[in-house]
Amino acid sequence: MFLALDIGNTNVTWGVFDGDRLAAHGKVSTDAAQPPSHYADALRDLFAASDVDPSDLRGAMVASVVRGMSKTVREAVRRLTGRDPAEARADMDLIRVAAPHPERVGIDRLLSAAAAFAAGGGPVVVADLGTALTVDLVSGEGVFSGGAIAPGLRLCLEALHLKTSLLPRVDLSPPASVLGISTPDCIRSGVVYGAAGMVEGLVRRVAACAEGPARTALTGGDAVFLSPYLTLPHELDPHLVLRGLLLVHRRT
């Protein structure tokens, strides 16, 4: 069994693979102030709840977009499993990158792109809905060709509260209608339907840069939430980063 850990700005998402099957997965909030013991305890509890025995793990790999968190989580995994997890890097056998400095591209974007291409070839547009919203293109030859970055849904909600005087903090939940009545309803409508429109607009524009028709793959922590609001055809897999980690683990 293989343990994959995606260290994001909001959550540390983990998945245990039994062969190609994602046998168990979960998440714990990202907090850079917490020591390795915090994450070791959290993972131990999550593993127990999912009936995962750490002694069954035969490999582990982490990917991080949070400065300083990789060392903390890797130490947590060492304490829990006795294994030293590898860390995914852009210079591994992952995906070709059409950029002068591949190491400056978010490793989560590269992993999702590699997994989406491996799943069905290219061209493919990968829309990742996390703390940030990214829309990237992988060419028919499997080259990461670039993309766009915008604020994610929860970041938009938080910004409206923090950067205005009177707008309240609102949780991410389905809007009752596109026509909000109360201020919280209006905020939910604007953020959710606005994000759906932004994803669709960016996907169309990015896909227009491809040579030929492009598939669309939707992934990330808020992918399941936003998927019903999209009118464009798309493949839904919220765990492409974890699948990308499995892919690079096997190649290396």
- The string of pLDDT tens digits covering residues 18-52 is 999 999 999 999 999 999 999 999 998 888 888 88
Q: Which residues participate in the annotated binding site for substrate?
A: 106-109, 183
66 lies in the same domain as 20: yes
Say which residue, 108 or 82, is predicted with more confidence.
108
Give the pLDDT band (50/70/90) at residue 12.
very high
C-alpha distances (whole Å) from 22 to each of 3, 26, 238 are 10, 11, 12
72 lies in the same domain as 109: no
122 lies in the same domain as 68: no
Instruction: Residue 66: count other Cβ atoms within 10 Å of its Cβ.
Output: 17
**Phi, psi (deg, nearest 5) at residue 176:** -65, -30
pLDDT digits (tens, 9 = 90+) for 115-137: 999 999 999 999 999 999 999 99
20 lies in the same domain as 77: yes
134 lies in the same domain as 213: yes
**DSSP secondary structure letters along 210-245:** SSS--EEEEESTTHHHHGGG--S--EE-TTHHHHHH
109 lies in the same domain as 77: no
pLDDT of residue 20: 93
In a domain, 219, yes or no: yes
Total domains present in the chain: 2
Structural domain containing residue 74: 2-87
172 lies in the same domain as 56: no
pLDDT of residue 128: 98
In a domain, 123, yes or no: yes
C-alpha distances (whole Å) from 27 to each of 5, 24, 32 are 9, 11, 15
Q: Which residues participate in the annotated binding site for K(+)?
A: 128
In a domain, 181, yes or no: yes
Q: Give the contacts of 98 (CB within 8 A, at least 6 positions apart).
A: 139, 143, 144, 145, 146
In a domain, 252, yes or no: no
137 lies in the same domain as 197: yes
- CA atoms of 82 and 56, how far apart (whole Å): 11
In the structure encoding, which two tokens stand for residue 236, read together? 């839904």
**Average pLDDT taken over every residue of the chain:** 94
3-state helix, strand, coil in the chain (%, to 5): 40, 25, 35
Q: Which residues participate in the annotated binding site for ATP?
A: 6-13, 131
> Is pLDDT above 90 for 54?
no
Across 62-73, average pLDDT:
94
Residue with tokens 């040579």: 211
Residues with catalytic annotation? 108
Q: Which amino acid is at 98?
A: A
pLDDT of residue 251: 87
Tell me whether the omega of the peptide bond preceding residue 123 falls within 30 degrees of 0, making it cis.
Answer: yes
- CA atoms of 134 and 109, how far apart (whole Å): 8
Domain harbouring 6, CATH code: 3.30.420.40
35 lies in the same domain as 122: no
102 lies in the same domain as 150: yes
Q: In what side-by-side order are the strands of the sheet with 143-151?
A: 96-97, 143-151, 132-138, 124-129, 215-219, 235-236
190-209 burial, b for 16+ CB within 10 Å, e for fewer?
A: bbbbebbebbbebbeebbee
Give the pLDDT band (50/70/90) at residue 208.
very high
